[in-house]
Amino acid sequence: MTATTDGSTGAPRPRAAAASATTGTPPGANAVRDAARQAAERGVGHLLARQDAQGWWKGDLETNVTMDAEDLLLRQFLGIQDEKTLQAAALFIRGEQRDDGTWATFYGGPGELSTTIEAYVALRLAGDRPEDAHMARASAWIRAKGGIASARVFTRIWLALFGWWKWDDLPELPPELIFLPSWVPLNIYDFGCWARQTIVPLTVVSAKRPVRPAPFALDELHTDPRRPNPVKPLSPLRSWSGAFQRLDKVLHAYHKVAPRALRRAAMRGAARWIVERQENDGCWGGIQPPAVYSVIALHLLGYDLQHPVMRAGLESLDRFAVWREDGARMIEACQSPVWDTCLAVIALADAGVPGDHPALVKAADWMLEEEITRPGDWAVRRPELPPGGWAFEFHNDNYPDIDDTAEVILALRRVKHPRPEKVEAAIARGARWTLGMQSRNGAWAAFDADNTSSFPNRLPFCDFGEVIDPPSADVTAHVVEMLAHEGRSHDPRTRRGIEWLLAEQEASGAWFGRWGVNYVYGTGSVVPALMAAGFPAAHPAIRRAVGWLERVQNDDGGWGEDLRSYGETEWVGRGPSTASQTAWALLALLAAGEREGKAVERGVAWLAENQREDGSWDEPYFTGTGFPWDFSINYHLYRQVFPLTALGRYVHGEPFSPNGAKGS
């Protein structure tokens, strides 16, 4: 894969000024509309030029260097390291190091311990020496933060594979977990789909406890190499953490006495579960981490590297690599073609591209072919529900997601397809499946229904981010918006979703964004949904949201929000202006009838003046979310599709409604 044209990581570079860059004072309304129209035309041209010949769009999905480090550690473990890949990955990792010697999990963020440890080890594999200045800065910082002993469990698992950490000093996760029925607490279906795909293979790794010869020592990453893991006192028994710490001790004791026949059966069951979930392209769930751990687990169970399952798995991992012009190699954690394509279609249609334009028809044909028509793991909790819907990735039939399905339906409705009956049938199946995936509280999550157990997050093993999939305001809003455009605003299930959204509004007037950063994303999702469902612009919830967006608008006219808003209230609605977040705010304000307002004019002017000559926008900041705070994403197409959608709606009015009229 070659690097895309949007890989710049510099700060946004203004074009010709459409507003005062220092005062934020907007020009006249007519000038703003002219600038918006011209910017939208350039944005349309840029986006159309990026469509693949097969009909899809996909921007790079940038995360952090743990993806690259773990890819190298996997190759080292399997004995398939090659010098070209090693040095190309090292070039990328070095380029992401901060001045203080650390690595962050998002652009402009603080250094993060586990990420820094994994990056450091990867560079040691590539030949960088501990005494090199950049390495010495990193190791000193790591020791100051507690060393390897303070790293997350997953980092220490990787180190244990090479004897740099003791398996006895890691939380236990037995493969017998595979036998627990779905009604027992802590069964594998209590975990979110991304977590269960990782945990099942890791139960095999935990049971096997392999150690490959370490190519070097890592004494410099311990605060005291003689006592690399100082004993920490247990939490009180009456606390959840104390109870689960003692459960972990029981599981460690069980590891020593586990009946061999039962353990062998459990590992066979885990292997069968893993192989059954391998996708047609060889990957697992279209996500790099589960694929990595699945390959390791199967290898430990006797699958040699030439086995068709292993060969396909390793080939799939190569497809996550983005080779840049400077020779650096970046690994994507995932790929987002369905998500990017439906958002691109919405953007182009709302910017005035006719519904029968060949690009939109080709995109619709591709999306129709991506429809999932067989059951997946979601059916464990919804066994009677017929399949339907769309996933996020090229191949992921086990895990269609509700967010993609809602947005694909909204996109397909904008296309004038030569076979409308085919589109109608797919939309009907997708809408039926989406309604069936509603959780008991009336809202929708991303992948599963009622995946809300509090137990998985309490396990000592699960310190790597969110491991359950509870309903969220942004996904629920996208579903409500889709159902409204399908003429189901008054369906009791839609009304329950709306009631849940109203109850989730923050006192400030904002909504929390689970899958995007953060309150700007949540608010930018919910307001258009409520308006589509028939809410008047004067409704108190809408007015509170508008008031919040106006209060957090930056002086330059844009909007931004730092990822630290997930944990620190002072960052809520605060951060450097970005193209995607400015667009989200504008989508809410436009839906709420604020087209003539000063906040909208200033936001539109910011988008116009910060557009690049080629019709694109630059955005180094991460505005997507995998796990709130723990795992952040820079979707390189967000900076193109959302500004174009906002400009299109500003120029042409709100998107269609089911009866063909403008507005909702």
pLDDT of residue 661: 33
Q: What is the pLDDT of residues 573-616, one digit of tens each?
A: 999 999 999 999 999 999 999 999 999 999 999 999 999 999 99
218: CATH: 1.50.10.20
Instruction: Please report whether residue 357 resides in a domain.
Output: no
Is 419 contained in some domain? no
Please check whether residues 303 and 179 belong to one and the same domain. yes
pLDDT at residue 328 above 70? yes
pLDDT at 462: 74
Q: CA–CA separation, 312 vs 281, rounded Å?
A: 7
Q: What is the pTM of this model?
A: 0.92
Is there a domain that residue 310 lies in? yes
Mean pLDDT taken over the chain: 92
Q: Dihedrals φ, ψ of 102, to 5°? A: -100, 175
d(Cα 109, Cα 117) in Å, to the nearest integer?
16
Catalytic positions, please?
403
C-alpha 47/C-alpha 652 separation (Å) is 18
The pLDDT value given to residue 591: 98
Task: Judge whether residue 26 has pLDDT over 70.
Answer: no
Residue 647 in any domain: the answer is yes
Q: Read off the pLDDT of residues 277-288 as tens digits, 9 standing for 90 and up.
A: 999 999 998 899
Task: For residues 441 and 327, give the distance between their C-alpha atoms in angstroms, rounded to a whole number.
Answer: 50
* Residue 628: CA count within 13 A, CB half-sphere: 18
**Of the candidates 303, 331, 359, which is a domain's last residue?**
331
Residue range of the domain that includes 177: 66-331
For residues 41 and 93, membership in a common domain is answered with: no
- 360 in any annotated domain: no
Tell me: do 43 and 180 sit in the same domain. Answer: no
CB 602 within 8 A of CB 26: yes
Report the share of the chain in percent with pLDDT over 90.
84
Q: Is residue 509 in a domain? A: yes
552 and 632 together in one domain = yes
* Pair 73, 189 in one domain: yes
**In b/e form, how buried is each residue of 309-344, taking b as 16+ CB within 10 angstroms?**
bbeebbebbeebbbebeeebbbbbbbbbbbbbbbbb
- pLDDT tens digits, one per residue of 192-221: 999 999 999 999 999 999 999 999 999 999
Q: Tokens representing 532?
A: 């589509």
> Do residues 162 and 34 share a domain?
no
Question: Cα(first)–Cα(last) distance of the chain, in Å?
Answer: 41
pLDDT grade for 465, boundaries at 50, 70 and 90: confident
Q: Which of 250-254, 278-282, 326-330, 515-519 shows the lowest per-residue confidence on average (mean pLDDT)? A: 250-254
How many whole angstroms separate alpha carbon 110 and alpha carbon 102?
A: 8
User: Is residue 188 within 8 Å of 178, Cβ to Cβ?
Assistant: yes
The number of domains in the chain is: 2
Residue 141 lies in a domain: yes
Q: Using one digit for the tens of pLDDT, what is the confidence trace for 370-425?
A: 999 999 999 999 999 999 999 999 989 999 999 999 999 999 999 999 999 999 99
Beta strands in 237-341 (DSSP E): 321-323, 329-331
**Are residues 141 and 22 located together in one domain of the fold?**
no
Kindly state whether residues 76 and 33 are assigned to the same domain: no
How many CB atoms lie under 10 A from the CB of residue 612? 16
In this structure, the answer to whether residues 126 and 9 fall within a common structural domain is no
Query: Could you tell me if 26 and 152 lie in one domain?
Result: no
132 falls within a domain: yes
Domain endpoint, select from 285, 306, 331: 331
Whether 609 contacts 19, CB under 8 Å: yes
Domain end, chosen from 296, 314, 331, is at: 331
Between 447 and 466, the more confident residue is 447
Whether residues 160 and 246 share a domain: the answer is yes
Residues 284 and 311 occupy one common structural domain = yes
